[in-house]
Amino acid sequence: MKPEQGEDTSGTAYVLHLYITGVTPNSTRAVRNLKDICDRYLAGRYELQIVDIYQQPEKAQEARIVAAPTLVKRSPGGARWLVGDLSDRERVLALLDLTPDPNDPYLHG
Amino acid sequence: MSTLSHSLAALAKAPTGIEGLDEVTEGGLPRGRPTLICGTAGCGKTLMGIEFLVRGIQEFDEPGVLMAFEETAEELASNVTSLGFDLKQLQADKKLRVDHVHVDRSEIEETGEYDLEGLFIRLGYAIDSIGAKRVVLDTIESLFSGFTNQAILRSEIRRLFRWLKDKGVTTVITAERGEGQLTRQGLEEYVSDCVILLDNRVVNQITTRRLRIVKYRGSTHGTNEYPYLITEDGLSVLPVTSLKLTHEVSNEIVSTGVPGLDEMFTRGGLYRGSSALITGTAGTAKTTLAAAFALESCRRGEQCLFFAFEESPQQLIRNMLSVGMDLRPYVEQGLLHIEASRPTLNGLEQHLVTIHKLIGQYKPQTVIIDPISNLVSVGSLVEVRGMLTRLIDYLKVKGITALFTALVSGRNANQEMTEEGVSSLVDVWLHVRDLEGIGERNRGLSILKARGMAHSNQVREFLVTSEGVRLLDVVLGPTGIITGASRHTQFLQEQALATAAQQEIERRERELERKRRVLEATIANLRTEFESVEEELRQTNQEEEQRREDLSQGRRQIAKGNPAPLAGNSPAAPTHS
């Protein structure tokens, strides 16, 4: 369960902004899922910012947020908007260009 | 019951400020509720939305939020600059907020459960930051291209409309027209308060835009398809005024510019503010009559607007000069404006708007359209009639006297243009026609109707002379009113008869004179005769008296007894004689 799996991208730093709406179930799940992914795959090489757009509504327009929750991956590569509670682990990893860990309990199938 | 229904407040409406739309909707869009505007590409949905916001800010002091899903704030601002809408300034004044919602499938990935709370927050923030009363969501359907989960989208859009209603903002949602339904994504089922359909039709290479209110819950509304235009001042829905017949009328009479024609109306002309129609076949001097009317209006010092669909201004001026009507001084004084264009230049509605605009600009008392029949080349009969109805109503409301000419083709031929089409709209209908006799054509003019005044029933022959139009006196022949050469013949005959009658009178006068002279001579004779008799009589009387005197004197002397001392002192005169 060490992040040795993603060797190929281990050098790059991830800049992630998660936009949530308070403590709605979707947002809570998204936070939990993202924390788990960061711990499991990106330990020590990520910068995570969680923005509650209920608290800071002006940020929503700046970050072009339509759906909630939304994870905006600023880097590496082009910006990507990952919409939803991030429960599709396989898809999230693929979108973040991370190699799935076979030991990851959230990977189903 | 009645008190109850009175106490119920009518549905509150938010006036749009868009020309004509508030009349059609009878006051505006439902206040605090969403309205769906759907239509095909390029029919002005976005423009209608923006104008709703801008007019709301400028005319009703209701700040607005524009949420644009397709175009950026920059693009929108530059798109509407040509209409005189300064979105940047309004944004700077904190009256307007434009939020461009960028939805791009290539950037968005779905990773699980979500909702559109982000959109709600942005919208809520924008509304609250300026206290907006109006919201426009420009093509919210773009969301469907960015997100795949239809079930979420639909429930979220439904929630959004509910939420906007709860916020009490008057919302306009634009949507693209779909196949077989009003919108592509069936948004109409979420917006149940008011649905406006915009349409863009090309018929005979001429585009006409039309607006129809598909539904308006809780309110009556105009149900027709109303043409509308995108002008340089924004949208303009027509008709502007034709929904009610409630205009003021005038009792003032204006002259037609043809003296004889005025006399055919018992009141000596047309009512000010009425509309007159001159129909006739080709070459029956319809334009000349119209120009005479225009000239008369200018002579009164009134503004006149002359729409010529057949001739250029120069040609019109030249032609009218040839019949003694000089329009130039009035054109130079700015009293007469001749607007010439081919009917096919624009669609009907564009013509109508041009006419409206020029009327607004020049504020004429008289408007002439020569001819209206040409407009049929642009639209169908029904459309032309619709347009003219609106135009005539508009002119009447403005109290403008109007004169239209219309060409009718041939005898008993296609006259529906006038007979069924327009004649019921106009107040006065003059018909000019060829009175074709043996070897010649003459022009005849008659009044078919004149609302509100009696008029002559005669067909009057008229001449277009170098001094203008002149109506000839009615000549009654053995078979009715006669014209042209017959008129001349009749005239000569009458002249001969008159001469003969004159001679007869003179002869009788001479005869009488003669008789008088004879009579006078006879009287003189008799008088002379009488005088000689009288003289004779007097002579006789005198002598008789003398004799009697002498006699009585002789008797007195005899009575005294002294026979006369004849040479004595007695002064007996008669004795000497």
Q: What is the pLDDT of residue B557?
A: 87
Residue A102 belongs to some domain of the structure = no
Least confident of B120-129, B254-263, B481-490: B481-490
Read off the pLDDT of each residue in A46-67 and give the average, rounded to a whole number: 91
Contact assignment for A84 to B119 by CB distance below 8 Å: no
One-letter-per-residue 3-state SS of B88-129: HHHHHCCCEEEEECCCCHHHEEECCCCECHHHHHHHHHHHHH
Residue A88 belongs to some domain of the structure = yes
Q: Is pLDDT of B54 > 90?
A: yes
Least confident of B57-61, B184-188, B259-263, B337-341: B184-188
Question: In chain A, whose CA is at the least distance from the CA of B142?
Answer: A66
Q: Which residues pair with B444 in a beta bridge?
A: B433, B461
Most confident of B50-54, B427-431, B565-569: B50-54
Percent of chain A whose predicted confidence (pLDDT) is above 90? 46
Residue A65 belongs to some domain of the structure = yes
Residue A2 belongs to some domain of the structure = no
Q: Chain B contact for A53, CB < 8 A?
A: yes
Q: Is pLDDT of B577 > 50?
A: no
Chain A (28-47) residues lying within 8 Å, Cβ to Cβ, of chain B: 29-30, 33
What pLDDT band is residue B244 in, cutting at 50, 70 and 90?
low
Count up the domains in chain A and report the number: 1
Domains and CATH numbers, chain B: 12-107+114-237 (3.40.50.300), 253-473 (3.40.50.300)
B435 three-class SS? strand
Least confident of A34-43, B46-55, B385-394: B385-394
From the list B65, B233, B63, the residue with the least C-alpha distance to B138 is B65
Read off the pLDDT of each residue in B480-509 and give the average, rounded to a whole number: 86
Cis ω before B565 (30° cut-off from 0): no
pLDDT tens across B346-374, in order?
Answer: 777 778 778 888 888 888 999 999 888 77
Phi, psi torsion values for B297, nearest 5 degrees: -60, -40
Read off the pLDDT of each residue in B375-380 and give the average, rounded to a whole number: 71
Read off the pLDDT of each residue in B457-483 and give the average, rounded to a whole number: 78
Q: Is pLDDT of B7 > 50?
A: no
Phi, psi torsion values for B174, nearest 5 degrees: -100, 150
pLDDT tens across B14-42, in order?
Answer: 999 887 888 888 888 999 999 999 988 88
What pLDDT band is residue B258 in, cutting at 50, 70 and 90?
confident
Q: What is the pLDDT of residue B414?
A: 47
Decide: B385 and B238 in contact? Cβ < 8 Å.
no
What pLDDT band is residue B421 in, cutting at 50, 70 and 90?
low
Q: Is pLDDT of B501 > 90?
A: yes
Residue A8 belongs to some domain of the structure = no
Q: How far is CA B255 from the centre of its chain?
A: 14
Contact assignment for A21 to B111 by CB distance below 8 Å: no
Q: What is the pLDDT of residue B3?
A: 42
Residue A26 belongs to some domain of the structure = yes
Least confident of A64-68, A75-79, B230-234, B239-243: B239-243
Fill in the DSSP letter of residue B414.
S
| For testing contact with chain A, the best of B99, B111, B116, B137 (most A CBs within 10 A) | B111
Q: What is the pLDDT of residue A34?
A: 93
Indicate whether this complex's ipTM tops 0.85: yes
Most confident of B174-178, B203-207, B505-509: B505-509
Rounded Cα distance, A61 and A19, in Å: 11
Q: Is pLDDT of B438 > 80?
A: no
Any idea what the CATH number is for the domain that residue A61 is in?
A: 3.40.30.10
Cα dist from B446 to B109, B260, B423, B511, whole Å? 79, 12, 15, 49
Q: How far is CA A71 from the centre of its chain?
A: 5
Read off the pLDDT of each residue in B171-178 and give the average, rounded to a whole number: 89
Percent of chain B whose predicted confidence (pLDDT) is above 70? 89
Q: What is the pLDDT of residue B461?
A: 84
pLDDT tens across B105-133, in order?
Answer: 888 888 888 999 999 999 999 999 999 99
Q: What is the pLDDT of residue B239?
A: 57
Question: In chain A, whose CA is at the least distance from the CA of B101?
Answer: A64
What pLDDT band is residue A83 in, cutting at 50, 70 and 90?
very high
Tokens of A96: 């973040």
H/E stretch holding B316 reads helix B313-321
Decide: B257 and B408 in contact? Cβ < 8 Å.
no
Least confident of A95-99, B112-116, B234-238: B234-238
A96 three-class SS? coil
Between CA B150 and CA B158, with CA B155 as vertex, the angle to 5 degrees is 125
Residue A33 belongs to some domain of the structure = yes
Q: What is the pLDDT of residue B124?
A: 93
Residue A73 belongs to some domain of the structure = yes
Percent of chain B whose predicted confidence (pLDDT) is above 90? 32
Where do the DSSP E strands lie in B409-459? 428-437, 440-450
Contact assignment for B118 to A29 by CB distance below 8 Å: no
Q: Which residues pair with A50 in a beta bridge?
A: A18
* d(CA A94, nearest CA chain B) in Å: 11
Q: What is the pLDDT of residue A3?
A: 44
Tokens of B311: 């001739």
Phi, psi torsion values for B241, nearest 5 degrees: -135, 0
- Chain B neighbors of A65, CB-CB under 8 A: 118, 121-122
Decide: B126 and B95 in contact? Cβ < 8 Å.
no
Non-local CB neighbours of B5 within 8 Å, separated by 6+ positions? none
Residue numbers of the domain that contains A74: 13-95
Read off the pLDDT of each residue in A39-52 and give the average, rounded to a whole number: 90
Q: What is the pLDDT of residue B241?
A: 52
Q: What is the pLDDT of residue B121?
A: 93
Q: What is the pLDDT of residue B259?
A: 84
Mean of per-residue pLDDT scores for chain A: 85
Cα dist from B280 to B152, B284, B419, B435, B492, whole Å? 67, 6, 12, 12, 31
DSSP track, B8-27:
SPPPPEE----BTHHHHTTS
Tokens of B410: 């041939």
Q: What is the pLDDT of residue B183?
A: 81
Most confident of B65-74, B280-289, B339-348: B65-74
Q: What is the pLDDT of residue B562?
A: 64
Contact assignment for B117 to A68 by CB distance below 8 Å: yes
Q: What is the pLDDT of residue B25?
A: 86
Q: Is pLDDT of B260 > 60?
A: yes
Q: Is pLDDT of B311 > 60?
A: yes
Q: How far is CA B552 from the centre of its chain?
A: 114
* Chain B positions with Cβ closer than 8 Å to A: 99, 101-103, 107-119, 121-122, 124-126, 143, 146-147
H-only helix segments in B212-304? 259-264, 286-299
- Chain A neighbors of B101, CB-CB under 8 A: 64, 66
